[in-house]
Structure 1
Amino acid sequence: MRNIVLPLLTLAALLVLVALPALFVLLQAVFPQLASGSLAGAFGAVPALARDPQVPVLLGGTLKTGLGVAFACALIGIPLGALRGLFAVPLARCWDVLILVPFLTPPYIAGLSWMLALQQHGYLEQLTGLRLDRVLFSRTGMVLVMSLNIFPVVYFAVSRAMETGGHRLAEVARVHGAGPWRAFRLITLPLALPAVFAGLLLAFTLAIEEYGVPAALGMRAGAPVLTVAIEQRLADWPIDLTSASLLSLLLVALALTAYGIQRALSGGLDVATTGGKPAAIASRPLGVWRWPVLLLFGLVTGLAVTAPVAAMLATAFSGTVSGGLTAANLTLRHFVNLFARHSEATDALGTSLGLAFGTALLTGAVGFMVAWLTLNARMRAKAFIDALSLLPAALPGVVVGVGLILAWNRRFWPVTPYDSWVILLLAYSCLLLPYPVRYAGAALRQLGANLEPAARVHGATAGRALRYIVLPLVFPALLASMLMVFAIASRELVTSLLLSPPGVQTVSVFIWRQFEQGSVGDGMAMASIAMFSSILVMLAALGLLQRRRR
């Protein structure tokens, strides 16, 4: 009996966190009258949505944005990643940390910062007289802003793959007479292609799932996308649950199609290299290209890191935006406002920290159990559990929000988390569950399959072996994933906007509403606190992972 308690609890948690919202999105899309308790008129809303002239515009806009971001990330991330992986780039670790910053910065904060820098009478115009507001408020500008946030996923994938995958074999080929370009083309690049495709897939899916930047820039640029349209159908009266559900399924289909294409392209390219003991990697010197490469890294990090962070801090420490960049306009008033007595900012900060902590604990516990069950347990349902735990990777935040609204806003539930902070906990946990699952799974694979059976042979129960042997050994990796979950959950935007009940406000909602209300300085002061806190937490997580690998 004890042997089935943990699997049943894990399966129940997955059904509540993942399966239930996904199921209700599907049911609402199929049965338009589901909200009134009727299953009549199945698929009745599909023809109307197919005739809606706005749907092709939304679909095309989302595809253009996703493909544009993937292309821009390839232009930025692949050359930089190849240089980092193959050559001895000066200050390499420093560049890695700087390039990590944009990915740790919430995209909506970066978008709002670029608005302040490039809008009419913005910081760029004040400093140089140049006006780039027309570039910013266009699809091209929106794609560039998103690309500067997302390109690190391609950079790190390419740099790590080229550094460890084909570097040594390419050197062997050069010893046997191959030129540098021939060795790169025939050995290094093919070995790195799976990582390149995986990075570009992630860039595409992150772009089509993003809400903050399209909502901030796309509305003025005339570049509609699915995420914003879904949120509008739930926020604007009359609320259209069925249309929001159908558009949500369309967005999920895009993500799954991209995943399928990536698998098809890289399916025959997976190559494993074995050579006994791990060899030290000796990167080639840059020679005369040293300074051009440093200039390239400096230019990219300046655009991706320095410019938006400088705009954010300038606004946070300025009395008014119109006052300009002058000493007389410097103030700490916005930070004082945040921590004033009975301030809604401190309430929002406390709410976000509490939810992030709860999300880290819940996803850590469920993720560890899922990883352990799928790797070690003998049960028929483990393939289903594994698939269900990784499904949120293909579910955009706005889709999870729609699913939770549809699932829990029902009269037949005796108790419901709807209209309470618990609904936000469920949303964050659903979105971020794959992190602990993957990290715990990787750590468990490194342990081998002998420790737990040995403990069982010596009289330990399954629970005691799990608690005293397996968990302590994988805990560093699990803790690192939980810290990542904490950092991301503390500033999640779209589900917070959709699900925050009256009287409950998170950091991301507070920042967004400050901009809507014109209190830009207070919003950027909170954004600076949130961003630097997330960076510190994520760096701590990466430090734990590095220590674990040693």
Structure 2
Amino acid sequence: MLTYGNRTGWLVLAVLFLLILLPLAAVIIQVLLPGVFFGKLVMGDISLLLDVFRRPLWLASLKNSVLLGTGTTIIATIIGGAIAIVRARWSFPTAKLLDMAVWLLIITPSFILAQGWVMFASADGLAARWLGWTWLHSLIFQPAGLIAVMTLSKFPLAYLTVYTALEWKVDRLGEAARLSGATPWTVWRTVQAPLLLPAFCSGAMLVFMDTVGDFGLPASIAAVFRFPTLPYSVYSALYTSPIRFDMAGALSFYLVLLIALAMAVQLYAMRKSRFDFLTSRATRSVAKRPAKGTYVFVLGNIALLLIVIGIPLGSNFLMSVSETASGAGGFTLRHYRELFTGDGTLLSGLLHSLEIAAAAAVLGLIVGFLIAYVLTYSQFKWRKAIDVISLVSLAVPGIVLGIGYIFIWNQSWLEHIGLLLYGTPWILILASVAGAIPVITRIIVGAMAKVPAQLLSAAQMQGAPFTQRVTTILVPLVKGALLSAALAAFGASVFDLAIASILYPPNFMTLPVVINKAFEDLNFGYAAAATLTGGGLVVLIMAVLELLFRPKKKRVRSSAYESHT
């Protein structure tokens, strides 16, 4: 099994290099050697990187990204961590709704949430027309307001990391502090909170990486408010005449640099600390009902859900059935009829997105399965490198990955060997596979960890070849995880706006691009109807696949029943 593990390891390493490392390296190379990917070998002028401090648009994009990322990280980590602590400690009605809302916010594309906020808070939006809140536009569409909107979308990342860290508790540490005269607040501040530092740091890093690389928010608010960020400026460099590959490469470099700095700060903060406090006396945390004031938790939770879910998704629904963009003029189904009676743009875009997502899910599942096999069962010497590389695309913004794919797959010599993928759907599929690898790998690794290697070794000793061991032993035992991984990759690939916007071929529209272009044209009703229709169809497809392929649990009859039969 080790021989096959090593062979598979080299294969996986080569695939990861091609899908992830090579495009990222191309971004750096383009800065140092501009034109090298387009037939011009010229030594780069490092001053191009310094132009970000001299060009107003570049500097504004960098400042806005840092401001948005830092502000959102601080506030979202505090809010998400606080809500997680309350949720882990107290049980109250509607608490399950909070759990569902957290996952809904995580899986919903950011551009859909941002569009909902634009529909609600724009100068002629739902809040102004229906509620008379004309002041909301100036409150939301400013840096502080955008930080608040992004916080309401990203706090679930911090919530989950802190909440999972609170699964186990060791009361002896707090009890020792109380016996020494510490107050409950002192116990929490000096004992419990420091032990949660890794969770808070991990949550903060996830929030920061997801925020600075977010393309959905700036792409959505561009219709009503100018707030350039690094991802949107990279996109503008490629789709504004003249095309500036050097500018896109330089700005992408700063995006990668910001994320690397965030990871370095986390490592520095935790460099000399120990947090391995679990012992055999640890017990699973159980949320308790509060002795009094339950209504406070319920009302607070409902208010939170109305804001974070009700406003963005509710605005999409109301706008989709409103006659005008302001929500006035009564209700109508005209926008839904236009989806199917127009020029067919939505249907073709939806079909293209489903095809790309299906191909990416299948290919990603194969690659992710092999990665998980190497990480779980092999002694391949570069296994740690594979583990790190498989997570890189989770940290790197999709817009940067897309730029790298343009540099790699848009070279004239590739046309002679039939591999000129730029301008074809295949480049979208490969980029989607690269983006899905981290999620697929983590899901399958968790399932494979429960399957003992001895099962595969025993089959090998009986003469079973590698493919037979995998298909007859391993795959059936992790079938549920394979389905979950495939569905996760499928759903994420359908609504990947960053990859789709930067790589879609001419006359090959995809669902996110169709929705975003309608939104940019201020056709809010059509965009909302397309969002809900496309999203509903994708959820329906995933639900059907879940029902068809989810392993059935066999009912075991009792021995008493069998004895009577």
Relative to the length of structure 2, the TM-score reads 0.88
For 1:46-445, what aligned pairs fall within 5 Å after superposition?
A: 46=48, 49=51, 52-54=54-56, 55-131=58-134, 132-162=136-166, 164-166=167-169, 179-217=183-221, 221-269=225-273, 271-276=275-280, 279=283, 281-322=285-326, 324=328, 329-340=330-341, 343-413=344-414, 414-415=417-418, 416-445=420-449
Aligned AA for 1:381? W
RCO (CA 8 Å, sep 6+): is it higher in 1 or 2?
A: 2
The 2-side partners of 1:405 and 1:208 are apart by 21
The more displaced of 462-471 and 344-353 is 462-471
- The residue type equivalent to 1:33 in the other structure is G
User: 1:202 Cα deviation (Å)?
Assistant: 0.5
Q: What is the letter of the counterpart of residue 357 of structure 1?
A: A
Provide the residue aligned with 1:489 in structure 2.
Answer: 493
Question: 8 Å contact 2:170–2:281 — kept in the other structure?
Answer: no
Any idea what the Cα deviations from partners look like across 1:310-349, whole Å, max 9, x if unmatched? 111011112222461x6xx212222222233861111111
Distance 1:108 1:546, change over 3 A: farther
Count residues in correspondence: 544
Structure 1 residues 197 and 224 mapped into 2: Cα distance closer, same or farther (>3 Å)?
Answer: same
**Mapped partners of 1:17, 1:397: distance in 2:** 13
Q: Is the 8 A contact 2:119 2:126 kept in 1?
A: yes
Instruction: Calculate percent identity across the aligned residue pairs.
Output: 26
TM-score of the aligned structures, taking structure 1 as reference length: 0.91
Contact 1:98 1:301 in 2 (8 A): yes
Question: Matches of 1:487 and 1:410 in 2, distance apart?
Answer: 31
**In the TM superposition, what is the alpha-carbon distance from 1:89 to its structure 2 partner?**
2.8
How large is the RMSD of aligned CA atoms in angstroms?
3.0
Q: Which moved more, 1:357-366 or 1:451-460?
A: 451-460
Q: 1:473 to 1:273 in 2, by over 3 A?
A: farther
Asked if the contact 2:318/2:327 (under 8 Å) is kept, the reply is no
Distance 1:474-1:281 versus aligned 2 partners, 3 A rule: same
Tell me by how many angstroms 1:67 deviates.
0.8
The answer to whether the 8 A contact 1:99-1:305 is kept is no
Alpha-carbon deviation of 1:534?
5.8
Cα deviation for residue 170 of structure 1 reads: 6.5
Structure 1 residue 362 displacement after superposition: 1.4
CA distance in 1, matches of 2:148, 2:170: 31
CA deviation map 1:62-94 (0-9, x unaligned): 111001111221232122111001122323222
SS in 2 for 1:527: helix
Consecutive unaligned residues of structure 1, counting only runs of 5 or more, are none
**8 A contact 1:401–1:498 mirrored in 2:** yes
Change (3 A) 1:323 1:2: closer
Q: Give the conservation status (yes or no) of the 8 Å contact 2:178–2:184.
A: no
| C-alpha distance 45-281 of structure 1, shift in aligned 2 (>3 A) | closer
Read off the aligned partner of 2:454 and give its amino acid letter. N
Deviation at 1:304, TM superposition (A): 0.4
Shift of 1:480: 1.4
- Look up the equivalent residue of 1:521 and give its one-letter code: G
Alignment partner of 1:459: what SS?
A: coil
Cα distance in structure 2, aligned partners of 1:85 and 1:52? 49
Distance 1:20 1:306, change over 3 A: same
**Worse-superposed segment, 396-405 or 108-117:** 108-117
Report the AA paired with residue 374 of structure 1: L
Deviations 1:180-204 (A, max 9, x none): 3344334432332211211111111
Residues 1:384 and 1:69: Cα distance change in structure 2 (over 3 Å): same
Q: Distance in 2 between matches of 1:546 and 1:246?
A: 48
SS in 2 for 1:450: helix
| Structure 1 stretches of at least 4 aligned residues deviating more than 4 Å after TM superposition | 1-5, 167-179, 218-222, 267-270, 273-280, 532-548
- Are 2:20 and 1:18 equivalent residues in the alignment? yes
Q: Deviations over 1:393-415 (max 9, x none)?
A: 22111101111111111111122
Stretch of structure 1 that moved more, 364-373 or 534-543: 534-543
Cα–Cα, structure 1 residues 141 and 96, in superposed 2: closer, same or farther, change >3 Å?
A: same
| Alpha-carbon distance, 1:375 to partner | 3.0
2:518 alignment counterpart: 514
- 1:518 alignment partner AA: L
Secondary structure (helix, strand or coil) at the match of 1:508 reads helix
Matching of residue 31 in structure 1 with residue 45 in structure 2: no
Is the partner of 1:442 in helix, strand or coil? Answer: helix
Shift in Å at residue 389 of structure 1?
A: 1.8
Structure-1 residue corresponding to 2:559: none
Cα distance between partner residues in 1 of 2:331 and 2:349 = 25
- Partners of 1:547 and 1:71 in 2: CA distance: 44
Q: Work out whether residues 101 and 305 of structure 2, in 8 Å CA contact, stay in contact via their aligned partners in 1.
A: yes
Tell me the distance in 1 between the aligned counterparts of 2:381 and 2:217: 43
Per-residue deviation, 1:245: 0.8
**What is the alpha-carbon distance in structure 2 between the residues aligned to residue 51 and residue 285 of structure 1?**
55
1:100 to 1:511, Cα distance in 2 relative to 1, 3 A: same
Alpha-carbon distance in 1 for matches of 2:128, 2:61: 33
